[in-house]
Amino acid sequence: MKRIHFSSLAVVLGLCAAPVLQAQSQPTEGIRFGVGGGLTMPLGNYGDFDKAGWNLVGVLQLPISQSPIHLRFDAMYGQTSHKSGLGSGSTTLTGATADLLYHLGDRAAKVRPYVLGGLGFYNVDAFGSSNSKLAFGLGGGILFGVGTMHAFLEGRYMSVQTSGSSLNFLPISVGVMFGQ
């Protein structure tokens, strides 16, 4: 429970920091690549078996012509630990998605919120079993200039279509992006 409170505090601080960082004069358009990490919160049945964990993410974002839409590819590796009473061990999540990302606001803005959604493929390794299945995700975040790079703060609802039922989780990630 303390991790959830800590992650909520980190999200609020990130949102409060955005107006201060808005003073930077850097547009949020162009080809970008980035890295980040954060908290992974299991949802639904997954939350009954595992505690919150962590994630690492890699991002490649490509603008589509002169539109506010970008094509984004991301890869994630994450891990959550089994709750006590279920034995020691962890669940490992490894996957990638292709997303459409839509920037809100003016293209020359220093701080831009965005929404994204897409499809991908994830491998879930838990309790001695490994499954690779189709996944989808929906979410949003904020992109803002920090010096010569950009930072992002985002959250997504992810669902991996495992056998029987889906495995749902919420990764909240903070990271930096580099590029044009």
DSSP code string of 108-171? T-SEEEEEEEEEEEEEEEETTEEEEEEEEEEEEEEEEEETTEEEEEEEEEEEE--SSS-EEEEE
Average pLDDT over residues 32-42: 96
d(CA 140, CA 180): 22
| pLDDT given for residue 56 in this prediction | 98
pLDDT in tens, 82-107: 998 777 889 999 999 999 999 898 76
| pLDDT at residue 105 in the model | 81
Q: How many domains does the chain have?
A: 1
Domain range for 139 is 2-179
CATH of the domain at 161: 2.40.160.20
Share of the chain above pLDDT 70, in %: 83
Element (H, E) at 6: helix 2-21
pTM for the whole structure? 0.81
Instruction: Kindly report which listed range (5-9, 51-55, 67-71, 164-168) carries the lowest average pLDDT score.
Output: 5-9
The percent of residues in the chain predicted with pLDDT above 90, rounded, is 57
pLDDT tens by residue, 56-88? 999 999 988 877 899 999 999 999 999 987 778
**Cβ pair 156, 138 in contact under 8 A:** yes
Q: How confident is the model at residue 149 (pLDDT cuts 50, 70, 90)?
A: confident
